[in-house]
Chains A and B, each alone.
Chain A
Amino acid sequence: MSCKTCSAPGSGTFDRGIHPPHGKKLCEDAHIEVMPAPASVALPLLQHTGAPCQSSVQAKQSVVLGEKVASAEAFVSAAIHASVTGMVGALGVTTLPNGRHVKTIPITAQGEQLSGPALWDDIYGGQWPLDSVGKHQPADIAKAVREAGLVGLGGAAFPTHVKLAVNPSKPVDTLLLNGCECEPYLTADHRLMVEAPAPIVLGALLAAKACGAKQIFIAVEDNKPDAAKALQDAAKGTPVNVAVVKTKYPMGGERQVVPAVLKRVVPTGGLPLDVGVVVMNVATAAAVARAVVRGKPLTHRVVSVTGDGIARPKNLLVAIGTPYQALVDYCGGLKPTAARVIAGGPMMGFTLGDLATPITKGTSGIVVLTHDDIRREAETACVRCGRCVDACPLRLVPTKLAMASRHKDWDLARRYHIAACCECGSCSYVCPARIPLVQLIRVGKAGSR
């Protein structure tokens, strides 16, 4: 598939995987709306993978949009910037959807806020001159990205400047932008690719320059032809190639998209860097362009608020730190059938316990599932049908891993390579006995470490 659209060597698909109903019809055609600045935001001090930040502001201090409010000395960390203009409050505490308790910097909005079309123009609109790439040196790009507090916006929230740092022992020849968005329901990246392809292409060029990549691919699943078209138009005359890949879950995982596009297999326990590839989300690329060309930090992101349980599904450009409740209210509130509010997608996301939790840099969507969606029968015995084995994109044996984890047989779990599991949840999805395979494997991964 990909070979038809560009020169990528991969077949455009990967072995195994699943096809869950994608549910993207709900808001794949909904334009990104700019949400008005919320009355207050709470900025968690740990929104990324790595060391937590230290607050650098005092209570009752006034801050403006984009001002740095927290940072860390550690290399694997990302600074945090005020996402509204206003006054800082006393440090608070919140529980993120992943269960971590973190300190937050609350900011009450005061004074005039940038909003509406002006905010859109500031972040994704306006001109993105492609010839500005030559003006920036690789080191400057990485520095600007670090200053902007950029993390991967796909969900894992790994600090981007670490990926862009040149590692002499592992040369990079390819930058792969990940626009697959394989999670059901989510459409944030899709809409961003359709509505703002220019910053994505510019960001790709800048990131490739920073990490020394020679070739650049953007992987887009074939259920988003409009996004692929928009990117192709924007990338005309640049070395950026758009690779259309098959729609399959979990295509967005780096161990799946790298073989699908580049025909290179990431070694077990390794990173795409080991095969000379840097994988980056498309939204991250757009933020790279903004950070380098405009010098603006990461303060807003696009979030899909979708699912059958929300009144008016929308794609929103929101300030980081906005409580989930504000987004849900802005979209008309929950329907009576709503059963679960999920941060992220229904496959790998977290159920929210508290809607007052703030949006973080890694939040790609809010999915509200109904009782019908989450209906589950009681768990029954494994009949060894082998569906999980056929679904696992890493070719593991999930049923064995889950049994080992249940019996706390860590040695057996290690022999079946439990650490290689990427927790995509394909096994739990297909299991007809409704065994919580991936949940048990997560326990086993922690236990066998």
Chain B
Amino acid sequence: MSLLTGQPQAHHATQIGMDVRGPLICAPESIRTVFIVTLAAASAPLCAGIVLFGWRAAVVAAICIGSCANIERLYYRVTRMPALMGRSHAYLTGVLLALTLPPTAPWYVPVVASAFAIIVGKAVFGGVGHFLWQPALVGRLAAAVLFAGAMNPEYWPVLAQDRLLWGDADKGRIVDDWRKWHGSCAPENADAFVSRRSDVVLSGLRPSKASYSALAYLPPPNELPKAPPAALGQLPSMGEMLMGTVPGNIGETCAIVIVVAGLYLIYRNYLKWQLPVAVLCSAAAVAAAAPVYLAGPDDVAIEVWWPVLHQEGEVALTYVMYRLLSGGIVLSAFFLAGESTSRPTGAGGQVIFGAGIGSLAMLLQLYVNTPIPAFMAVLAMNTLTPALDSLWRPRVLGRRRFEFLRRK
């Protein structure tokens, strides 16, 4: 296989006995089918995002898909490489990229992100089947670095509760009626009803985050043990978290649709159940075990709160659920980490891979000020995929356990 052209090496059919020795029949599914079905499954969270966030999400998605397809075509024409498997993978990359972008992104963000996804993420490695990092996330990372200011995903979806009117919080007046179909971002002079992402609110529990203004939500120090429930009071309800009527990127908020589409992928055998389960379980475990610093009025840490040690288990559970559902962890677990080329092949390797993604994503979300913790975790673990593949491979039938440790 040539690394640069991505073309299968020409082999002499007679030399390797193709068409002479079996199997002469093959399963009906081809890679094209795999891509198209994955594309259909990934369209479900995209549609949910368009319904929730309004037409701007549709515009972002259309730009993503269109520019991915066109940039791939342009690239292959310029480099004179033959495009493999049509453009189904470019469309898939476009949809996945759209899922990770905020609906308020200006038009040039999806274009540049698509260019990075297709060229840097995929084509320079040799195209489909050869890349190391999930291309859509390469594009998303580039967008996060290049357009940090324009990438603010902290807006409520159109259909969210209390989202009927735009308002000005200071003056207590209504600026605009949502029924004019303004789309998903507020007019210039409005701020009321525009809320923070749930993970940002939760991150406000830790110090030196004055910009996140969550400190105002904390009760006075003498009531501190009740601090987490008080913070929870500032969050959307759990039902809204599941339905997706919370701020976030286009495809990452609607957990129900993501899980249903992911279960379909598992049903079609495109995804092993071990991978999303490993991601979600490890993320939940880290969220439960990792300490949270509660900040006082002067922006200094005054207490360490251990969710798992909290007297009421229900509070800890609610806290962990909010941590899981906010940010892109669910989307990463089912769609981005599950991308076939950049994940380990075996179930064992995928469990380690998934556990790495889940715990890393949660640690980044807790302790590092980054807008895309889950996506960065996926990219980091993608780097380890070749190592996981060679270290963790199935034990050949008939070999004893730990055979390599035994004396020959």
- Looking at the assembled complex, report how far the CB atom of B128 sits from the nearest CB atom of chain A, in whole angstroms: 6
Docked CA distance A418–B341 (Å): 23
Minimum CB distance partner of A388 in chain B: B345
- Name the segment of A140-148, A193-201, A338-346 touching the other chain: A338-346
CA distance in complex: A436, B394 (Å): 21
C-beta contact mask, A375-392 vs B, less than 8 Å → 1, else 0?
A: 011011111111101100
Tell me which of A65-73, A221-229, A319-327, A347-355 binds B: A347-355
Per DSSP, chain A at the interface is loop
B129 closest partner in A (C-beta):
A381
Q: A265-B397, A442-B16 are in contact. Are A397 and B345 (CB under 8 A)?
A: yes
Whether the pair B340, A381 counts as a contact (CB closer than 8 A) is: no
Q: Quick check: B22 and A432 within 8 Å, CB to CB?
A: no
Stretch at the interface among B23-31, B51-59, B151-159, B255-263: B23-31
A267 at the interface (CB under 8 A from B): yes
B396 adjacent to A345 (CB under 8 Å): no
Q: Which residues between 122 and 160 of chain B lie within 8 Å of chain A, taking CB atoms?
A: 126-130
Check B27–A432 contact: CB distance below 8 A.
yes
Convert B257-276 into 0s and 1s, putting 1 for each residue whose CB lies closer than 8 angstroms to a CB of A: 00000000000011010000
Give the distance in Å from the alpha carbon of A406 to the alpha carbon of B398 in the complex. Answer: 26
Whether A349 lies near B26 (C-beta < 8 A) is no
B15 within 8 A of A: yes
- Pairwise interchain contact B23-A347, C-beta atoms closer than 8 A: yes
Docked CA distance A440–B1 (Å): 13
A399-B345 in contact (CB<8A): yes
Q: How many Å from the CB of B131 to the closest CB on chain A?
A: 10
From the candidates B8, B127, B340, name the one contacting A386 in the complex (CB within 8 A).
Answer: B340
Which residues of B, 19-44, contact A by the 8 Å Cβ criterion? 19-27, 29-34
- Using A381-B130, A397-B393 as known contacts, say yes or no to A351 and B23 having CB atoms under 8 A apart: no
Complex Cα distance, B6 from A382, in Å, reads 10
CA distance A389 to B344 in the complex (A): 11
Please classify the interface of chain B as helix (H, G, I), strand (E, B), loop, or mixed, using the class held by over half of its residues: loop
Instruction: Tell me, yes or no, whether A395 is within 8 Å of chain B by CB.
Output: yes
* B6 close to A381 (CB less than 8 A): yes
Of the listed residues A20, A379, A383, A393, the one surrounded by the most CB atoms of chain B closer than 10 A to its CB is: A383
Count of chain A residues near B, Cβ 8 A:
66
Q: Which chain A positions have C-beta within 8 A of B11? A: 406, 440
- Contact status A373-B24, CB under 8 Å: yes
Total interface residues on B, CB under 8 Å, equals 48
Q: Is the CB of A428 within 8 A of B1?
A: no
B9 at the interface (CB under 8 A from A): yes
Query: A106 within 8 Å of B by Cβ?
Result: no
A351 touches B19 (CB 8 A): yes
Q: Give chain A nearest CB distance to B85 CB in angstroms.
A: 5
Contact residue among B25, B34, B398 (Cβ-Cβ distance under 8 Å from A383): B34
Partner of A436, one of B16, B30, B269: B16
Q: Is A20 within 8 A of B33, CB to CB? A: no
B346 at interface by CB-CB < 8 Å: yes
Instruction: Say which residue of A373, A381, A416 sits within 8 Å of B8 (CB atoms).
Output: A381
Contact call B398/A270, Cβ cutoff below 8 A = yes
Interface status of A369 (Cβ within 8 A of chain B): yes
B346 to chain A, nearest CB (A): 6
Q: Which listed residue (A348, A397, A431) contacts B22, Cβ 8 A? A: A348
In the complex, chain A residues whose CB is within 8 Å of the CB of B32? 377
A443 touches B (CB below 8 Å): yes
With known contacts A350-B21, A439-B21, A429–B27 Cβ distance under 8 A: yes
B17 interface residue, CB < 8 Å from A?
yes
Contact A350/B396 with A381-B8, A434-B30 known, Cβ cut-off 8 Å: no
Q: Closest residue to A392 on the B side, CB-wise?
A: B394
Q: Are B397 and A425 in contact (CB under 8 A)?
A: no
B22 and A406 contacting across the interface, CB-CB below 8 Å: no
Given A265-B398, A380-B85, A346:B23 Cβ within 8 A: yes
With A389-B346, A395-B397, A397-B345 in contact, do A443 and B24 touch (Cβ < 8 Å)? no
List B contacts of A266 (CB < 8 A).
398
Assess whether A82 is interfacial by the CB under 8 Å rule.
no
B21 and A417 within 8 A (CB): no
A20/B24 in contact, CB under 8 A: no
Minimum CB–CB distance from B395 to chain A (whole Å) comes to 6
Closest partner residue, chain B, to A373 (CB atom): B25
**Is A1 among interface residues, defined by CB-CB distance under 8 A?**
no
Q: Are B395 and A395 in contact (CB under 8 A)?
A: yes
Residues of A near B397 (CB, < 8 A) are 15, 255, 265, 268, 393-395, 420
Given contact pairs A383-B128, A403-B1, A425-B22, A420 touches B345 in the complex (Cβ within 8 A): no
Interface presence of B174 (CB below 8 A): no
Instruction: Point out residues on A near B: beta carbons under 8 Å.
Output: 15, 18, 20, 99, 184, 255, 265-270, 340, 342, 344-351, 369, 373-374, 376-377, 379-387, 389-390, 393-397, 399-400, 403, 406, 416-417, 420, 425-426, 428-436, 438-440, 442-443
Apart from A389-B394, A438-B23: 8 A-B pairs, beta carbons within 8 A:
A15-B397, A269-B398, A369-B24, A395-B396, A397-B394, A428-B23, A439-B21, A440-B11
Q: What are 30 pairs between A and B in contact, CB < 8 Å?
A: A99-B20, A255-B397, A268-B396, A268-B397, A268-B399, A270-B398, A344-B22, A347-B25, A350-B20, A379-B8, A380-B31, A380-B85, A381-B128, A381-B129, A383-B34, A383-B128, A384-B345, A385-B34, A385-B270, A389-B346, A394-B398, A400-B393, A420-B396, A428-B22, A428-B23, A432-B33, A436-B18, A439-B16, A439-B17, A440-B16
In the A-B complex, list the 9 residue pairs whose CB atoms are closest, starting with the nearest: A381-B129, A425-B23, A386-B345, A268-B398, A395-B394, A385-B340, A439-B16, A383-B129, A347-B23
